[in-house]
Amino acid sequence: MHQRAREFGERADAEYGFDVDVHEFPEGTKTAADAADAIGCEVAQIASSLVFRVGDDLAVVVTSGANRVSEAKLADAEDVPESEVGMADAAEIRNTVGWSIGGVPPFCHDAELPVYLDETLAEFETVWGAAGTPEAVFPIAPEKLREFSGATVADVSE
């Protein structure tokens, strides 16, 4: 198992008592479609953790792989002008969240950040999130994901 996936698993166990069932795919799970193909699930079951700059801060949006995040809705949720919302840059994500783009898990972040959970993920019994690398994913019930991440369930998609 990749060291970063192992670190995520150890951290999830230590912080939440959650035994992460990591699945690794050498061909990669960089996009939601790639992950769904590798796993054998619907694209909508992929819980993509995206990090946005919101004003002077960062926020994580865990969205369904079938959806696109609405920056306008995220701006409303954070009470900032839409012009102040955009994707965070890779270095800032790594330095603040502790994970690299493509492998950001929905919880176990280095900083306390607001997390928004796409309400459409609740339609599934199981969703799949990144487990620390672009090649590693794990299954989780949406309610557990919400609980561990402290997420606000919201309509954040276009």
* DSSP state for residue 46 in the 8-state scheme: E
pTM of the model: 0.92
Average pLDDT over residues 94-115: 95
Architecture of domain 3-154: Alpha-Beta Complex (3.90)
Does the pLDDT of residue 113 top 80, yes or no? yes
pLDDT band at 156 (very low <50, low <70, confident <90, very high): very high
Packing angle of the helix pair 3-16, 142-149 (nearest 10 deg): 80
What percentage of the chain carries pLDDT values higher than 70?
A: 98
What residue spans define the domains of the chain? Answer: 3-154
Helix (H) or strand (E) holding 59: strand 57-64
Tell me what the pLDDT averaged over the chain comes to. Answer: 93
Please spell the DSSP secondary structure of 86-130, one letter per residue.
Answer: EEPPHHHHHHHHSS-TT---SS--SS---EEEEGGGGGSS-EEEE
